[in-house]
Structure 1
Amino acid sequence: MTTSKAAPRRVDDREAEDPQGWQFNSPLVLTMLLLLVVVLQGPIRRALSAPVMQSWMTVFVAVFVQALPFLVLGVLLSAIIAVFVPTSFFARALPRRTALAVPVAGMAGAVLPGCECASVPVAGALVRRGVTPAAALAFLLSAPAINPIVLTATAVAFPRNPEMVLARFAASLLVACAMGWLWHRLGRADWLRPPDHPSFDGLGKGVAFWGSVRHDVMHAGGFLVVGAIAAATLKAVVPAGWLHAAANNPVVAVLALATLAVVLSICSEADAFVAASLSQFPLTARLAFLVVGPMIDLKLFAMQAATFGRGFALRFAPATFTLAVLMSALVGAVLL
């Protein structure tokens, strides 16, 4: 007598495709929020009619609407560069001597639009392709701070202070080159972990392009909203006396806005409009906000740690912050 093995139990395809039980998903959350707004529309309307809230909404909408076109343009151009421009092009274009490659890579940021969210993976790709880390790090710091989109947005945000554009360009480029040279002199190979491969390797150009666009829009757009909320709150809620007390002390003003840039983590295409709204503070303090933010903030620290290793980020971030604050104060004293 022969025995046959029982066939393995197969899961019904319908069970796999339509699992039972309640699932937490974003459409359900959105529907619940809309219903809550409808139910509470009376109290919400009364709250929004208060003078403080009207002032808050005015500043929020102004900052968001002014910054949004530059954010979208920067994201599109960043995706084009990341997907369609071969990384090997940058390796061939840089001088072989590190001392010369650093300023060339720093200046390359002036012609390659993109936000800081895109500069980290591009810098990682440059290191993988053999570019000296010092030059890649100079590009990482300069690209989101001195590219055409950012400088144009700065000019639009500060129409009465055109010198702010030159000050931002000079301070950011000097910091980027100084950090590149500093890494070349003092950096150690074991501090820098080799970056992983890009997540879009092996995909078609179209898929990679729209994947990059979606990633940058979700990240940069979210941080733009947070930055607009913070700027509106500072203008409408925080007592004016507090802001004037901080703004009247030059050292405290610079340190306060530099720290605020780290905490807010605003995309570089939008930060100029937030800085312009902080009119209580002197131009030098707002320059520190614009120089520090694209180089080191909370999201950048996480991205740098994920790309190059936590040991690298723990050394690189404090040095960048310190040098950016000092350079902002120096350039601001000369140009502003």
Structure 2
Amino acid sequence: MLESLSIFATAATAIFMEAAPFLLLGSLIGALLEVFVPPDTLARFIPRSAAGQVFTGVFAGMVLPTCECGIVPVVRRLLLKGVPPRVAIPFMMAAPVINPVVIASTLFAFQGSIEVVFLRCLFVLVPAVGLGLALGNAPAAQVLRHAPATTAALPAAMPGSHAAATFAAPHPVEQEHACGCGCGHAHGGKLTSVLFHTVAEFVSMARFLVLGAVVASAFKTFLPPEVLGYFADNAYLAIAGLMLLAVLLSICSEADAFVANSFASFPLTSKVAFMAIGPMVDLKLIPLFLMVFQRRVALCLIIVPTVIIYFMAALTAAMGG
């Protein structure tokens, strides 16, 4: 029993230590966006069309090596800056998988299999794009929990809109003395503001990361290995089993391909489903979703990718994949 508890503590610490630097980096990027990027700057570069906005989010995910451990605070700041959910949500859901680093690690783990990379990206892009289109240009106050009151009047934050102009021009006193994030923190210089926002964001989200690490390590330590054997012989159970395992293990997307390929007795499609769902929904992300987003939005971010990825994997398996 003591040995199991030792393994459990070690696994929980390892998960936290693996994810914490990325969460800190994400908090820092979010703080830099808050302090140095005026609210209307990002909106100026966003296309007006729905397809253009979704493509912008997906393209950003393709070119920026981003881990799921730190992307939530970045997206929260983007939404507060007036970036529409149609851009921010596809970026958040897809970036941890479709970026060059993860694609390269997947190719390496699966001996250069283009099929595996294509399926993994496809399984991720479909729910990511669907969620972005569903949320559209909803204002931050309808998407985020505890969004500052100044965001409530930003239905689209598109260039030239009255709402964008209102948001971009706060009261002169507020602009001079406050940071504009709703926290009431007074400016003490740009660097002080960046440090303040970084620490506040990190501390706020790290407690949920700790919770996720503890729960994930408990399943990793105490789940009997023979349980997986019941799933391996049935393609549809194998998909469900490895998807559940991906959520429970909470492995970062840069490393999960090597873990997936180690399940030698499982069908290939179930391994792809494992690699698709993990970076979108795991025990690190679920508490963060529930804390950052409105409950209905958070539930959609959890349920929609799970359902779509399962059915896409099951269809692929039925077609002989």
| TM-score under structure 1 length normalisation | 0.62
Deviations, residues 57-77 of structure 1 (Å, cap 9, x unaligned):
9xx99xx99x99997996686
Residue ranges of structure 1 left out of the alignment (5+ in a row): 1-42, 49-56
Deviations, residues 268-324 of structure 1 (Å, cap 9, x unaligned):
233223222222211211111111112122332221221122232234422232112
Structure 1 pair 218–103 and aligned structure 2 pair: CA distance change class (3 A): same
* Contact 2:57 2:86 (8 Å CA) reproduced: no
Corresponding residue SS for 2:62? coil
The one-letter amino acid paired with 1:175 is P
Which residue in 2 is equivalent to 1:152? 104
Which of 252, 258, 269 does residue 243 from structure 2 map onto?
A: 258
The one-letter amino acid paired with 2:48 is R
- Counterpart Cα distance in 1 of 2:211 and 2:102: 18
- Counterpart Cα distance in 1 of 2:194 and 2:140: 33
Which residue in 1 is equivalent to 2:122? 170
The one-letter amino acid paired with 1:130 is G
Which residue in 1 is equivalent to 2:290? 305
Residue ranges of structure 2 left out of the alignment (5+ in a row): 149-180
Structure 1 pair 225–111 and aligned structure 2 pair: CA distance change class (3 A): farther
Show the 5 A alignment for 1:304-323.
304-323=289-308
- Counterpart Cα distance in 1 of 2:17 and 2:107: 14
Structure 1 pair 330–216 and aligned structure 2 pair: CA distance change class (3 A): farther
Measured on the aligned residues, the alpha-carbon RMSD in Å equals 4.4
Tell me whether 1:114 sits opposite 2:66 in the alignment. Answer: yes
Once the 2 structures are TM-superposed, how far is the Cα of residue 211 of structure 1 from its aligned partner? 8.2
Which residue in 2 is equivalent to 1:180? 132
- Counterpart Cα distance in 1 of 2:231 and 2:95: 31
* Contact 2:235 2:317 (8 Å CA) reproduced: no
- Counterpart Cα distance in 1 of 2:22 and 2:284: 18
| TM-score under structure 2 length normalisation | 0.65
Count of aligned residue pairs for this structure pair? 275
Which of 115, 130, 143 does residue 192 from structure 1 map onto?
A: 143
Moved more, 245-254 or 212-221: 212-221
Corresponding residue SS for 1:296? coil
Deviations, residues 96-149 of structure 1 (Å, cap 9, x unaligned):
223320132122111122222322222222221222223222112112222223
Which of 205, 225, 243 does residue 238 from structure 1 map onto?
A: 225
* Contact 2:79 2:85 (8 Å CA) reproduced: yes
Tell me whether 1:325 sits opposite 2:284 in the alignment. Answer: no
Q: What percent of counterpart residues are identical? A: 31
Structure 1 pair 215–304 and aligned structure 2 pair: CA distance change class (3 A): closer
- Counterpart Cα distance in 2 of 1:261 and 1:252: 14
The one-letter amino acid paired with 2:51 is A
- Counterpart Cα distance in 1 of 2:214 and 2:141: 38
Structure 1 pair 183–316 and aligned structure 2 pair: CA distance change class (3 A): same
Which residue in 2 is equivalent to 1:131? 83
Show the 5 A alignment for 1:283-294.
283-294=268-279
